[in-house]
Amino acid sequence: MKPKDKKEIVKVEWEDITFFRGEYDKRELETLINQRIETVGFLVEEDENYLTIALSLELTEPYRTIDLIKIPKKNVLNRMKLQ
């Protein structure tokens, strides 16, 4: 990322897919909840379906984005601009 290409920093709360191992009866199924996740990072791309957030940005050449998370917008519960 060239210094002039400053990226927005966001905090996103989202619901993740959750795997529950084992067997459950109908009553137990009602107690299972999906994991809620909070991610903070640099918004590097957004389209109508996804937010792509980088955890790190390289400030010298070749200006790479590092450690990306691509979150489906339909899973986003809350989003806040931090900078």
pLDDT tens column, 5-19: 778 999 999 999 889
Q: What is the mean pLDDT of the chain?
A: 91
All structural domains of the chain with their residue ranges? 8-81
How far apart, in whole angstroms, are the C-alpha atoms of residue 79 and residue 41?
Answer: 12
The pTM is what? 0.80
11 three-state secondary structure: strand
Q: How many CA atoms lie within 13 A of 56 on its CB side?
A: 6
Q: Give the CA-trace dihedral at 29, 20, 49, 5, to 10 degrees.
A: 140
